[in-house]
Structure 1
Amino acid sequence: MLCDQSPVKRSTIKVLKSGERVILSPQVTVQRYLLVFYWAINVGAFFGLATSYAAYNVGFWLAFLTPGIFYMLMPLVLWVCYKRLVRFAPQGSVVLEAFKACRSLFKDGNSANLFKRGNAFWENARPSAIASRGGDLSGVTWDDKFIDDLQRTMAACKVFRNIPIFNLANSGLGNSVNAMSSAMTLGGVPNDLIQNWNALTIVCCAPLINYGLYPAFSKMGYPISPMWRMTIGFTLGGLNMIYGGVLQTRVFLAASMQPVTECALGVSPISLWLQVPLFSLPALGEIFVNVTSYELAYTRAPPRMKGLVYAFCLFTTAISSAIGLACSAAVTDPYLVEPYWVLAALSLACGLDKEVNFFDPSLTSIKQDKAEVDVEETREKR
């Protein structure tokens, strides 16, 4: 709904008061909307720090009441903004029809064409192709356009296949980060306090990236394309795991323990504050990976399948959580260092995976916008 509020639906030229001609880009506008959105939800997440102290110093009743008040105000805010919101009528779910079409795709041994280039695989479910080979159309409730949209949807979802790896590199595998903090010197600081640096980093850095980094590179003629943003995010996730592996090794050594001993035998003199980069580095990566994935889900998915693509995008969080839970029993001392190296290698490898880029990586959004404007200007001249 937030992205639907964008007034820029196609690339157009706007003349500023200074006389400068600029391009209003739909994709860049949505990108900025989503960066502001991600900044806002992390402002809310950072208030978890105040909630913890409210529960400790006053009581749980205040910790529950404060966010409850904010939630109760939201219907009033939506009622005030209702007339100014862009609203689209519900189009119904396409999930059932998509499953039927996918079942038709794999009929008659067509699965052999799945990894071949071209449209041979998708032709198997097009009503026009089914009719041309004398097939039965009685159970077909879709048209050729639906298959085209389904093909674009599957291509759009390819970019999400590596995000579970980033999520694991974001928070560590299992309880590895908590296990490390339990063997560090707290200095009177709760071991869950450092986690708030994730939200704090996003709150501080998202505006700098939104209004500084991205516009600066665009003005220089080198806009940071979605491909490069994803690569930067996965690289930050890999560097985060490398730092975690080094820090965990230092914790073992500083506590005069070898990896074959138990952490309960001693506490490392290393301060808990050295864990701050473990939450700050992946927070920067989230700005590049998560926000970009939301952007691609909205801009690349067919209009009637945006909800389905967003569902796949958010489902990656469930996948990474399930992997983390499945590995939590195994990620214990003395096997606390190895998961960091494994996730570091996987995250860095995913950053180099060009197969997830289902659009032409050489054609940035600004080049696309300029091409669209040139076509429109030529049409107007004619």
Structure 2
Amino acid sequence: MAVAVPGTLGLGQATATNIASAFLFLSFLLPTVWAIISDTWLGRHKTLCLSYFLNFCGCLIIFVTSLPAFSHSQITKVVGLGVAMIVLGIGTAGVKATASPFIGDQYAEAAPQVITTKKVERVIANRALTLQYIYNVSYWFTNIASLSLVASTYLEKLVGFWAAYLLPLCATWTLVPLLLIFHKSLVKQKPQANILPRASQVIVCAGRNKFNWEAATPVYQSEKFGRQVEWDDKFVFEIKRGLQACKVMACFVPFHLCMNQITNNLVSQAGQMRLGGIPNDTIQALNSIACVLLGPVMQRFVYPIVRGRGFAFGPIARITWAFIMMSTAMAYAAGVQKLIYTEGPCYYKPLQCEKSPNDVSVWIQSPVYFLLGVAEILGFTTLAEYSYSEAPRNMRSLVQAMAQLSSGAGSALGMAFSPLSKDPQILYLYTGLSVTMITTAPTFWLMFRAYDDRIFEEAHSSDDGSNQAAEPMVSGPSDAAETGEKGDGAKTSA
């Protein structure tokens, strides 16, 4: 028995899947192009404005063509959807490449300094903790916005598709004006000359010597080959760190594959249980709710407690725990799927009998979204912070774009494993993902833990041996915002 998939265009599930795949392809591949444009030509502020404008245009097109006036014109609706998704894919790619590094730019690098708080507490500014705080707050607001999924679902159900599309249209039209209104108070890093050729030469020099980075230094090149190069030792070191960040991003491919279950297989799983009148694609909003609730808890309590006890809970440790939590989430999803199969009336064919679905409440699925929320907070926010800190100053958008490629690879794997997304093979998919993540966690930790050791040593040297950390203090823009310079930092107890 086939399950009907609702849709106003009536194109069928296969065509809908192809359209979604094309959109994902654009939004994951094009960030690399946008990153080069941002780093070498327009700068992140102008690139972000242009990307948001394209998003507005895409939302406007799909809103207009979904109005009741065009309800009888199938061609108009199909063409409108196609054009809108292309424009939105291009615009979204630009946002993905530039938004995260642009947020990081708002806190310019500053040397450690002693600050006295309003509580007369002497603290030391700490850049790493401030970036961690900034990206956690940014992700918190992102999940606040994600809750619009609930509103748009009910708008489509009760009013129509045009009402659902009106919601993002109203949101996107404010973005560019806001960036322009506050442009004087924003830090806008100026684009530099194209350093990709130099970066490529450095990588080639190191690669020819089994990635011995000393071989790429000017001194080595001069003594060994008698050639003068256009870079210095600092540039070689930055490229080395940037490539390490890309290695970390590559480890996120299975993580992205697991996260993608939220929008497909977990939605289908919810449809196999008693919904109680709630649309099955609305249940996934629990993930955003979990992130909104747990984000402040992690930032205010978990991180300070762990740091206060002397543990080097740096980026690598946090990502490792993200992988562990992701494994737990997939294991729980497998348990729920097994429970569905053990309950009647349809058992291993939950939607293929007259009395479907099976007699299991959909709310038993709730914990998986909270586990995924913890994994997201530990994983995605840390990756954004880590990639910004490690990337060469003039290649931050490009390094961020590499993270989108790992996300695209996760989506490609999802399509490869799609034959398992059916009953009862889906149970093996969840189990396999859980095993993959729990295996990846210790491997990842052993490969990259030296980075956390270095961060911990730097923190000790900056605060004269103190190993306690308080919450970060974020200052407002300085008068040097136009040149990309800014003031105070985060704080650690002095």
* SS of aligned partner of 2:189: coil
Write the distance in 2 (CA, Å) between the matches of 1:47 and 1:175: 18
Aligned equivalent of 2:171: 70
The answer to whether residue 238 in structure 2 is matched with residue 149 in structure 1 is yes
Which residue among 202, 213, 229 is the counterpart of 1:122?
213
Aligned equivalent of 1:272: 362
Query: Could you say if the C-alpha distance between residues 331 and 62 of structure 1 is closer, same or farther in structure 2, counting changes exceeding 3 Å?
Result: closer
Write the distance in 1 (CA, Å) between the matches of 2:436 and 2:367: 19
Deviates more, 1:332-341 or 1:279-288: 332-341
Write the distance in 2 (CA, Å) between the matches of 1:104 and 1:333: 52
Aligned equivalent of 1:380: none
Deviates more, 1:76-85 or 1:166-175: 166-175
Write the distance in 2 (CA, Å) between the matches of 1:295 and 1:346: 25
* SS of aligned partner of 1:22: strand
> Do the aligned residues in 1 keep the contact of 2:295 with 2:377 (CA within 8 Å)?
yes
* AA matched with 1:303: R
Deviates more, 1:271-280 or 1:144-153: 144-153
Query: Could you say if the C-alpha distance between residues 96 and 321 of structure 1 is closer, same or farther in structure 2, counting changes exceeding 3 Å?
Result: farther
Aligned equivalent of 1:52: 153
Aligned equivalent of 2:317: 228
RMSD: 2.7
Which residue among 394, 397, 401 is the counterpart of 1:307?
397
* AA matched with 1:129: Y
Write the distance in 1 (CA, Å) between the matches of 2:118 and 2:437: 46
Write the distance in 2 (CA, Å) between the matches of 1:54 and 1:340: 32
* AA matched with 2:188: R
Aligned equivalent of 1:283: 373
Query: Could you say if the C-alpha distance between residues 172 and 79 of structure 1 is closer, same or farther in structure 2, counting changes exceeding 3 Å?
Result: closer
The answer to whether residue 266 in structure 2 is matched with residue 177 in structure 1 is yes
> Do the aligned residues in 2 keep the contact of 1:175 with 1:328 (CA within 8 Å)?
no
Write the distance in 1 (CA, Å) between the matches of 2:233 and 2:256: 37
Shift of 1:222: 4.1
Write the distance in 1 (CA, Å) between the matches of 2:261 and 2:459: 39
1:117-266 mapped onto 2 (5 Å cutoff): 121-134=212-225, 142-172=231-261, 175-222=264-311, 224-255=313-344, 264-265=352-353
Shift of 1:175: 4.7
Shift of 1:297: 0.8
Write the distance in 2 (CA, Å) between the matches of 1:146 and 1:123: 12
Write the distance in 1 (CA, Å) between the matches of 2:168 and 2:202: 44
TM-score (norm 1): 0.84
> Do the aligned residues in 2 keep the contact of 1:235 with 1:347 (CA within 8 Å)?
yes
Shift of 1:356: 4.1
1:331-346 mapped onto 2 (5 Å cutoff): 331-346=421-436
Write the distance in 2 (CA, Å) between the matches of 1:299 and 1:152: 9
Aligned equivalent of 1:349: 439
> Do the aligned residues in 2 keep the contact of 1:173 with 1:331 (CA within 8 Å)?
no
Could you report, residue by residue, the CA deviation over 1:236-291 in whole angstroms, capped at 9, with x for unpaired residues? 111111111111111112136676x6852453111122222222211111000111
Write the distance in 1 (CA, Å) between the matches of 2:265 and 2:163: 32
Query: Could you say if the C-alpha distance between residues 130 and 328 of structure 1 is closer, same or farther in structure 2, counting changes exceeding 3 Å?
Result: same
Write the distance in 1 (CA, Å) between the matches of 2:244 and 2:390: 9
Shift of 1:342: 1.1
Aligned equivalent of 2:8: none
* SS of aligned partner of 1:318: helix
* AA matched with 1:322: A
Query: Could you say if the C-alpha distance between residues 210 and 35 of structure 1 is closer, same or farther in structure 2, counting changes exceeding 3 Å?
Result: same
Query: Could you say if the C-alpha distance between residues 364 and 142 of structure 1 is closer, same or farther in structure 2, counting changes exceeding 3 Å?
Result: closer
Query: Could you say if the C-alpha distance between residues 100 and 257 of structure 1 is closer, same or farther in structure 2, counting changes exceeding 3 Å?
Result: farther
* SS of aligned partner of 2:426: coil
Write the distance in 1 (CA, Å) between the matches of 2:217 and 2:435: 41
* SS of aligned partner of 2:405: helix
Deviates more, 1:331-340 or 1:35-44: 331-340
Write the distance in 2 (CA, Å) between the matches of 1:173 and 1:5: 32
Which runs of structure 1 show a deviation greater than 6 angstroms over 4 or more consecutive aligned residues?
A: none
> Do the aligned residues in 2 keep the contact of 1:254 with 1:270 (CA within 8 Å)?
yes
* SS of aligned partner of 2:182: helix
Q: Which consecutive unaligned segments of at least 5 residues does structure 2 have?
A: 1-101, 466-494
Query: Could you say if the C-alpha distance between residues 185 and 92 of structure 1 is closer, same or farther in structure 2, counting changes exceeding 3 Å?
Result: farther
* SS of aligned partner of 2:433: helix
* AA matched with 1:172: Q
Aligned equivalent of 1:3: 104
* AA matched with 2:116: V
Number of residue pairs matched by the alignment: 361
> Do the aligned residues in 1 keep the contact of 2:325 with 2:372 (CA within 8 Å)?
yes
> Do the aligned residues in 1 keep the contact of 2:332 with 2:368 (CA within 8 Å)?
yes
Shift of 1:56: 1.9
* AA matched with 2:359: P
Aligned equivalent of 1:293: 383
Determine what percentage of the aligned residue pairs are the same residue: 27
TM-score (norm 2): 0.66
Q: Which consecutive unaligned segments of at least 5 residues does structure 1 have?
A: 115-120, 376-382
